[in-house]
Amino acid sequence: MPESDTVIVGYSETKVVFKSGRSAYDFAGEAFASLLERTGVTKDEIDGLSVTLALSEAGNPFFTVYMADALGLTPTWLNAGAIGGCSAIGGIARAACAIRDSMCKIALVLSADAPSTAWRANYGAYRSEFQDPPGVQGPPASFGLLMSRYQHQYGLQAEALGKIAITQREHGLANPNALDKFRKPLTMDEYMGSRMIADPLRVLDCVMFCDGANAFLVMSEDEARSRGLKKMVRPRAYAEVTNFAGNESCPDITESGFWKIAPEVFRKAGMTPGDIRMFQPYDDFTIAVLMQMEAFGFCERGNGSRYVLETDLSYRGALPLNTGGGQISAGQPGLASGGLNLAEAVRQMFGEAEGRQIENPSTAIVTGIGVIPYGRNWGTSAAMILEAANG
Amino acid sequence: MANENRPVPKPDVYVPTKPFWDGARSGKLMLQFCKDTQRFQHYPRPVSMYTGSRNLEWREVSGKGQIYACTVVRVPGPGLEGRLPLSVATVDLEEGVRIIANILGSNSEVVTIGQRVVLAWDQIDGDTPYPAFRLA
pLDDT tens column, A45-95: 999 999 999 999 999 999 999 999 999 999 999 999 999 999 999 999 999
What is the domain partition of chain A in residue ranges?
6-120+210-226, 130-200+233-388
* 3-class DSSP state of A287: helix
- Domain spanning A6-120+210-226, CATH architecture: 3-Layer(aba) Sandwich (3.40)
- Given B42, B101, B113, which is nearest A148 (Cβ)? B113
ipTM: 0.96
Bridge partners, residue A217, by sequence: A10, A108
Q: What pLDDT, on a 0 to 100 scale, did the predictor assign at position B58?
A: 98
Average pLDDT (B109-114) is: 93
Residue A42 · residue A71 · CB < 8 Å? no
d(CA A209, CA A333): 6
Q: Which chain B residues have a beta carbon less than 8 Å from that of A140?
A: 73, 75
Question: What's the gap in Å between the CA of B84 and the closest CA on chain A?
Answer: 10
CB contact A141 to B (< 8 Å): yes
Q: Are B100 and A199 a contacting pair at CB < 8 A?
A: no
Q: What pLDDT, on a 0 to 100 scale, did the predictor assign at position B126?
A: 80
Q: What pLDDT, on a 0 to 100 scale, did the predictor assign at position B77?
A: 86
Residue A139 · residue A284 · CB < 8 Å? yes
Average pLDDT of chain B, as a whole number: 94
Q: How confident is the model at residue B3 (pLDDT cuts 50, 70, 90)?
A: low
For each of chain A's 391 residues, which pLDDT tens digit applies?
665 689 999 999 999 999 999 999 999 999 999 999 999 999 999 999 999 999 999 999 999 999 999 999 999 999 999 999 999 999 999 999 999 999 999 999 999 999 999 999 999 999 999 999 999 988 999 999 999 999 999 999 999 999 999 999 999 999 999 999 999 999 999 999 999 999 999 999 999 999 999 999 999 999 999 999 999 999 999 999 999 999 999 999 999 999 999 999 999 999 999 999 999 999 999 999 999 999 999 999 999 999 999 999 999 999 999 999 999 999 999 999 999 999 999 999 999 999 999 999 999 999 999 999 999 999 999 999 999 997 6
Q: Domains of chain B (ranges plus CATH)?
A: 11-60 (no CATH), 63-136 (2.40.50.840)
Residue A53 · residue A111 · CB < 8 Å? no
Q: What pLDDT, on a 0 to 100 scale, did the predictor assign at position B2?
A: 46
Are both A6-120+210-226 and A130-200+233-388 of the same fold?
yes
Bridge partners, residue B30, by sequence: B60
- Given B68, B77, B101, which is nearest A137 (Cβ)? B77
- Domain spanning A130-200+233-388, CATH architecture: 3-Layer(aba) Sandwich (3.40)
Note the pLDDT tens digit of each residue in B77-99.
888 989 999 999 999 999 999 99
Share of chain B above pLDDT 70, in %: 96
Q: Are A199 and B97 a contacting pair at CB < 8 A?
A: no
Average pLDDT (B47-67) is: 98
Bridge partners, residue A48, by sequence: A77, A107
Selected residues 3-62 of chain A with any CB under 8 Å from a CB in chain B: none
Considering only CA atoms, which of A284, A134, A139, A128 is closest in space to residue A197?
A: A139
- Given A128, A135, A253, which is nearest B73 (Cβ)? A135
Q: Are A374 and B17 a contacting pair at CB < 8 A?
A: no
Question: What's the gap in Å between the CA of B113 and the closest CA on chain A?
Answer: 7
Q: What pLDDT, on a 0 to 100 scale, did the predictor assign at position A4?
A: 60
Q: Which chain B residues have a beta carbon less than 8 Å from that of A149?
A: 68-69, 113
